[in-house]
Amino acid sequence: MNINNWCRKNPQPFAILALVDGQEKRIELSGGGRQWRDLAKTVESLNPTKITAVDRAGNVLRCLDIETEDPDDKEAAPVESETSAEIKVFAKLIAEAYQVGGKSYEPLLKASMEFIASQSSRLASQEREIERLRTAIHKLNGQLLEMSIEPAAEEPSVAEQLFAGLAAGQAAQHQHPAVRAVKSPKTEGVK
C-alpha cells in the first residue's frame, strides 16, 4: 500500500490521525522538503488499522481502513478511469472539430486553388504576349534606325555643276516679260 501517495493527494492534510491498538495518534507534517516521505514512514512504522487525513481546523478530509481497503485500488482506479474518460471525450471533441473545420473550409480552399491556377495560366499567357511585343518593338526600332540614317550627300561633279548653271540660265531667259523687266533695268541713252 502506498501511504505516501494517499497522504499527498489534494486536498493535502495538515495532520494524519492513526488508529493504533484502539488509540488515536496525531502525526503532523514536519514542513521540510522530505515531509511526505517522513510522514509515510512514520505511519507505516505504527502499523495502524485506520488512518484519517485532517486539515488545520481538524476537519476530516478522507479516511482509510487499512485492514479492509487498499489505498492503491480504491483511490488510483477511479482517478485513472475518470481521467481516461475525460481524455476520450476531449479526443472525440477534437476529432469532431477537425472534421467540421475541414468540411467548412473545403469549398473555400477548392475555390482558392482554382483561382490561383487560373491566375497562373493567365499570367503565363500575358508573359508570352509581353515577350512577343518586346520582339516586335525591337524589330521596329531596328527598321526606324535604318530609315533615319541618311546616305552621305556627295558633292556634285564639275559637269553636274555646269549643267545646273545652264539650266538655271535657261530658266531665267524664259521668264515672264514683267519679271524680266523688273530684273533687268533699261539704261537710257545706250545704244
State the Cα–Cα distance between residues 16 and 24, nearest whole angstrom.
10
pLDDT digits (tens, 9 = 90+) for 20-42: 888 888 888 877 777 888 888 88
Higher pLDDT, 184 or 108: 108
Percent of the chain with pLDDT over 70: 78
What pLDDT sits at residue 87? 84
What pLDDT sits at residue 117? 92
At residue 21, the 3 state secondary structure works out as coil
What pLDDT sits at residue 74? 47
Instruction: Please give the average per-residue pLDDT across 3-16, as a whole number.
Output: 82
Map out the domains of the chain as residue ranges: 3-69, 71-146
What pLDDT sits at residue 157? 79
* E strands present in the chain: 15-20, 23-28, 50-54, 60-65
State the Cα–Cα distance between residues 103 and 92, nearest whole angstrom.
17
Instruction: Please give the average per-residue pLDDT across 47-65, as a whole number.
Output: 87
What pLDDT sits at residue 77? 46
pLDDT digits (tens, 9 = 90+) for 83-104: 677 788 888 888 888 888 777 7
pLDDT digits (tens, 9 = 90+) for 126-172: 999 999 999 999 999 988 888 887 665 677 777 787 788 777 777 76
Owner of C-alpha cell 518593338: 137
Highest mean pLDDT among 72-81, 113-122, 162-171: 113-122
